[in-house]
């Protein structure tokens, strides 16, 4: 399992919306196969972008309020927040290159 910290609704505003650097939230679920496939990719990016972006996992089953707030319909969904606003999103398993091409300009 990855060493990316888990996020809760209680910490969401402080960690994501008030962050001075971009934040990538991995909306995930323990039962989700594609989420497990995406895990090593996200972990790798979190190491490569260390200091430039923060990464968090958010379990959709435990945090339905935030999941609904951002209209997350399926997992995995990656949402990039910049200055507290969702700037980009990707749904489903994505190869590393696709994530970099979509999010890299903001990092």
Q: What is the pLDDT of residue 2?
A: 56
Q: Is 89 annotated in the active site? A: no
Range of the domain at 29: 9-106
pLDDT tens, residue by residue, 71-101:
999 999 999 999 999 999 999 999 999 999 9
Q: Taking a C-beta distance cutoff of 8 angstroms, is the pair 89, 38 a contact?
A: no
Name the pTM for this structure: 0.96
Q: Is 32 annotated in the active site? A: yes
* pLDDT band at residue 105 using 50, 70 and 90 as cut-offs: very high
Domain total for the chain?
Answer: 1
Residue 3 domain-assigned (yes or no): no
* pLDDT band at residue 3 using 50, 70 and 90 as cut-offs: confident
Residue 21 domain-assigned (yes or no): yes
The CATH code of the domain that includes 61 is 3.40.30.10
The one catalytic residue among 25, 35, 41, 75: 35
Residue 2 domain-assigned (yes or no): no
pLDDT tens, residue by residue, 5-17:
999 999 999 999 9
Mean pLDDT of the chain, nearest integer: 96
The one catalytic residue among 25, 29, 32, 80: 32
Spatial strand order of the sheet with 23-28 comes to: 54-59, 23-28, 77-82, 85-91
């Amino acid at each position: 399992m990855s060493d990316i910290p888990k996020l809760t609704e209680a910490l969401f505003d402080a960690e994501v919306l008030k962050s001075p650097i971009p934040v990538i939230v991995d909306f995930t679920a323990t039962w989700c196969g594609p989420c497990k496939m995406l895990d090593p990719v996200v972990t790798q990016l979190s190491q490569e972008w260390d200091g430039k972006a923060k990464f968090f996992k958010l379990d959709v089953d435990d945090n339905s309020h935030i999941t609904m707030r951002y209209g997350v319909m399926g997992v995995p969904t990656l949402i990039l927040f910049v200055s507290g606003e969702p700037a980009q999103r990707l749904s489903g398993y994505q190869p590393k290159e696709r994530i970099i091409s979509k999010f890299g300009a903001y990092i």
